[in-house]
């Protein structure tokens, strides 16, 4: 059963979200909910079946799913609620969350603190404006990774990969393992954009040619990709005439970068850094909206999952502390109501503990003038907490009254205060 309000609600169950949820619970959050749009926990790690994960934190070389399994198991032992197959549609700056799920339909709930951990998306063909026909057989490397590693089918037989990022190189090896031919990896930059170790163990080991300073000029083929035309580029990123080459292939994979996934952050009013594409955060991973925290690839694109986990832990700890403070503060707060002949009163609520530090001034306006001496009283039901006299009151003149520090004990007992103005 879902609750209407949680201490911490985590959106996205990749390594960042899992770590945040675990750490929030361990820090003392009463209840934690993880909402994930996929049918299982783990995020993108579930399709990253290659090893190389966990060297920093576990001092072990693990495949992506094994790394995820570790945190999934830990989460399961901590009584953390999960809502799977559930897409979060909207988040407000008051931390109200709207989601739709196959199991529970439309869901609305609140978090005292929120963790945004939606990860990132891949750049697509449209975003890099590749000219040519629009045949089938053009995929992002991550989509192909999901097909091959989770769903179990090959998107093609003869590949060209554009981009020397890690996902592209790792997919090159993976496709060779599954019997495909990888004709070429093209990189527009004059350097490798992924890790050198991936160049060695994914490309060199299997004699897959890499060409730096090269890009795809055009895609050929009508129904299906039949070839691509590659071209060398100069220092100004302009194609060099005469260097074109037709490379026959049936599939083009794009590994051209990731963009943080921040539609929800925008809806919540979180300010975003135009350089990273992710939210501005402080040292506690809090965004510009109090109580909304963010961690992982949603903030900036990481190259090592260990640092994602670390950011998730930090974020979860702070989100829990925020929620705990929020809950405590809520119990410590008392509303102040406008009573007899008071039109309004400011502040509307008072932290009871504030009296431990100093007297607290209330300001109000009366509804009707009284041209004779009056008593201004702050009441807790029938018990008087503070009083003051005035010779007269008029709606045009603001009235003040201080709750003295000596009223500390009386205020602690109150569940609501009211202020009234009466004739003496």
Partner 1 sequence: MTQEHRKFICITCPRGCALDATVEGKAVVKIEGSSCKRGMDYVKGELTDPRRMVTTTVRVKGGVHPLAPVYTKTPIPKPRIFDLLAEIRKIELKAPVRFGDVVIENALGTGVDVLASRNIPAKSEAS
Ligand X SMILES: Cc1cc2nc3c(=O)[nH]c(=O)nc-3n(C[C@H](O)[C@H](O)[C@H](O)COP(=O)(O)OP(=O)(O)OC[C@H]3O[C@@H](n4cnc5c(N)ncnc54)[C@H](O)[C@@H]3O)c2cc1C
Which chain residues interact with ligand X by CB under 6 A?
11-17, 35-38, 43-45, 48, 87-88, 117-120, 122, 142, 145, 166-167, 170, 258, 261, 264, 296-298, 302, 304-305, 308
Query: Is 199 an interacting residue with respect to partner 1 (CB under 8 A)?
Result: yes
Among partner 1, ligand X, none, partner that 11 touches (CB below 5 to 8 angstroms by kind): ligand X
61 part of the interface to partner 1, by CB under 8 A: yes
- Here the tokens at position 236 are 């100004």
**Least distance from C-beta 268 to ligand X, angstroms?**
12
Measure the CA–CA gap between 210 and 172, rounded to whole angstroms.
Answer: 11
Residues binding partner 1: number (CB under 8 A): 34
Residue ranges of the alpha helices (H) in 96-192? 125-128, 141-146, 166-177
Among 157, 181, 200, 373, binds partner 1 (CB under 8 A): 200
Task: Give me the residue label for tokens 């051209």.
Answer: 256
Return the one option of ligand X, partner 1, none that residue 49 interacts with (CB less than 5 to 8 A, by type): partner 1
User: How many residues are recorded in the chain?
Assistant: 424
Q: Which of 290, 294, 362 is nearest to 329 (CA)?
A: 290
| CA atoms of 245 and 211, how far apart (whole Å) | 12
Residue from 131, 151, 235, 275 that binds partner 1 (CB under 8 A)? 151
- Cβ-in-10-Å burial (0-12, 13-18, 19+) of 388 comes to middle
Q: Supply the DSSP string of 316-375, one letter for each residue.
A: HHHHHHHHHHHHHHHHHEEEEEE-TTEEEEESSEEETTHHHHS-EEEEEEESS-B-S-EE
- Asked whether position 76 contacts partner 1 by CB under 8 A, the answer is no
Stretch that binds partner 1, among 47-55, 90-98, 293-301, 367-375 (CB under 8 A): 47-55
CA distance 313 to 115: 11
Residue of 126, 131, 196, 382 that binds partner 1 (CB under 8 A): 196
> Which does residue 171 touch among partner 1, ligand X, none (CB within 5 to 8 A, set by kind)?
none
Q: Is the dihedral of CA 14, 18, 19, 20 positive or negative?
A: positive
* Interface with partner 1, residue 197, by CB under 8 A: yes
User: Which of the stretches 157-165, 199-207, 243-251, 395-403 binds partner 1 when contact is defined by CB under 8 A?
Assistant: 199-207
By beta-carbon proximity to ligand X, the closer residue of 2 and 38 is 38
Q: Does 273 bind partner 1 (CB under 8 A)?
A: no
In the structure encoding, which two tokens stand for residue 108, read together? 């609305």
Instruction: Give me the residues that bind partner 1 (CB under 8 A), please.
Output: 39-40, 42, 46, 49-52, 55, 61-66, 68-69, 73, 148-152, 174, 177, 195-197, 199-201, 205, 303-304
């Amino acid at each position: 059963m879902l609750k209407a309000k949680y201490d911490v609600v985590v959106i996205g169950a990749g390594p960042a979200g899992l770590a945040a949820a675990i750490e929030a619970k361990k820090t003392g959050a009463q209840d934690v909910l993880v909402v994930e749009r996929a049918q299982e926990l783990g995020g993108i790690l579930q399709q990253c079946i290659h090893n190389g994960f966990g060297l920093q934190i576990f001092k072990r070389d693990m495949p992506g799913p094994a790394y995820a399994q570790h945190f999934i198991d830990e989460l399961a032992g901590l009584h953390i609620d999960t809502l799977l197959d559930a897409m979060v549609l909207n988040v407000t700056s008051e931390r109200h969350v709207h989601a739709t799920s196959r199991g529970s339909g439309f869901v609305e709930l609140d978090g005292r603190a929120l963790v945004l951990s939606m990860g990132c998306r891949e750049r697509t063909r449209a975003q890099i404006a590749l000219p040519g026909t629009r045949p089938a057989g053009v995929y992002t490397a991550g989509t192909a990774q999901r097909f091959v590693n989770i769903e179990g089918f090959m998107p093609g037989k003869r590949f060209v990969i554009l981009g020397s990022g890690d996902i592209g190189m790792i997919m090159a090896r993976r496709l060779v393992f599954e019997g495909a031919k990888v004709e070429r990896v093209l990189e527009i930059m004059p350097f490798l954009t992924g890790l050198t170790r991936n160049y060695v163990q994914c490309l060199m080991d299997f004699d897959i040619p890499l060409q730096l300073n090269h890009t795809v000029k055009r895609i050929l083929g009508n129904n299906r990709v039949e070839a691509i035309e590659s071209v060398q580029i100069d220092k100004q990123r302009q194609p060099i005439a005469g260097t074109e080459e037709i490379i026959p292939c049936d599939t083009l994979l794009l590994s051209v970068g990731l963009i943080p996934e921040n539609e929800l952050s925008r809806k919540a009013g979180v300010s975003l850094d135009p350089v990273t594409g992710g939210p501005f955060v402080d040292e506690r991973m809090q965004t510009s909206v109090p109580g909304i925290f963010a961690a992982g690839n949603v903030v900036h694109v990481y190259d090592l999952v260990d640092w994602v986990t670390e950011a998730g832990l930090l974020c979860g700890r702070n989100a829990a502390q925020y929620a705990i403070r929020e809950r405590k503060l809520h119990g410590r707060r008392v509303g102040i109501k406008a009573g007899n002949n008071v039109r309004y009163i400011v502040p509307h609520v008072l932290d009871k503990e504030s009296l431990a530090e100093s007297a607290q001034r209330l300001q109000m306006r009366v509804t009707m003038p009284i041209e004779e001496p009056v008593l201004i009283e702050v009441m807790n039901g029938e018990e008087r907490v503070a009083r003051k006299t005035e010779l007269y009151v008029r709606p045009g003149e603001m009235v003040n009254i201080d709750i003295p520090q000596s009223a500390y004990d009386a205020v602690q007992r109150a569940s609501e205060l009211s202020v009234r103005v009466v004739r003496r």
